[in-house]
Amino acid sequence: MDRSDYLTHLEADGRAFIEACQAAPTAPVAACPEWTNTELLSHLAMVWRFALAQVTVADAANPTGPNIPEGDTPAAALADVLSAFAEVDLEAPAWSWSPDLTAAFWVRRMAHETAVHRWDAEQAAGSPQPIGSALAPDTLAEIVEVMVQFNRKGKVEDFPAGSLHLHGTDAEAEWLLVPGPEGLTVTQEHAKADVAVRGTTSDLALWLWGRGQGDLTCFGDQDLLDAWASVTP
């Protein structure tokens, strides 16, 4: 996917997210048990501002706190991040917790962060729609390439004691995750694993983000499957 693809999805999912939160502000968010859609809306608006700060300050060595304008609104935060992402040099330095210390990391990250939280808000409101079919394969790819392996504490070292195979049914998306003494090995292949999960790339991505098994077909030990579904923060 390129910049324009990510921005198209970020704008559409961002607007749908705001609409869902405002339509059902007191609805509880299943993935964030202590939050309603009101808290989720504030959270993602802050995350948009945080991402904007990373690409604006361009300091790859240190995270930069968000600049929250007086009277800020989620719609304004979304508009500002879209504008900045459209103009920024994708190779410009930007802090992240992954090996990718460029602005491109944040353009991709915010598209997927917004898609997942849009699903959260819509689920709370009672009408969740899957991650868009054009975006979902990359949402899944980002999880296995980045989010399973790196978090804000650095490189993840502790993985479930068994391999995982992911099989997307709506795209060419097969992944094998094999933990070992030197960390996690991730490859794109069809291979036998200790546990396997089959379904749409949207459902697979949401499952790895801890949003439940949905309509997925799962094979193998449930405890191991649950362990893989809890690796991402």
**pLDDT tens for residues 134-152?**
999 999 999 999 999 998 7
> Which helix or strand (DSSP H or E) is residue 218 part of?
strand 217-219
Cβ–Cβ under 8 Å, residues 172 and 189: no
- Do 115 and 151 belong together in one domain? no
Alpha carbon 199 to its chain centroid, in Å, reads: 18
- Do 15 and 102 belong together in one domain? yes
CA–CA distance, 124 with 100 (Å, rounded to integer) = 33
Domain count, the chain: 2
109 token code pair: 């990250």
Name the residue range of residue 224's domain. 136-228
- Do 120 and 166 belong together in one domain? no
User: 176 in a domain, yes or no?
Assistant: yes
The pTM score is 0.96
| 3-state secondary structure at position 36 | strand
Q: What is the tens place of the pLDDT at every residue in 127-138?
A: 999 999 999 999
> Which helix or strand (DSSP H or E) is residue 118 part of?
helix 103-125
> Which helix or strand (DSSP H or E) is residue 164 part of?
strand 164-168
CATH number at residue 18: 1.20.120
Percent of the chain with pLDDT over 70: 100
Q: What is the tens place of the pLDDT at every residue in 40-63?
A: 999 999 999 999 999 999 999 999
- Do 141 and 223 belong together in one domain? yes
- Do 31 and 143 belong together in one domain? no
Boundary residue ending a domain (96, 125, 154): 125
Question: What average pLDDT does range 149-171 have in this prediction?
Answer: 92
User: 130 in a domain, yes or no?
Assistant: no
Cβ–Cβ under 8 Å, residues 209 and 232: yes
- Do 220 and 152 belong together in one domain? yes
- Do 7 and 65 belong together in one domain? yes
- Do 98 and 23 belong together in one domain? yes
Boundary residue ending a domain (59, 94, 125): 125
CA–CA distance, 48 with 14 (Å, rounded to integer) = 10
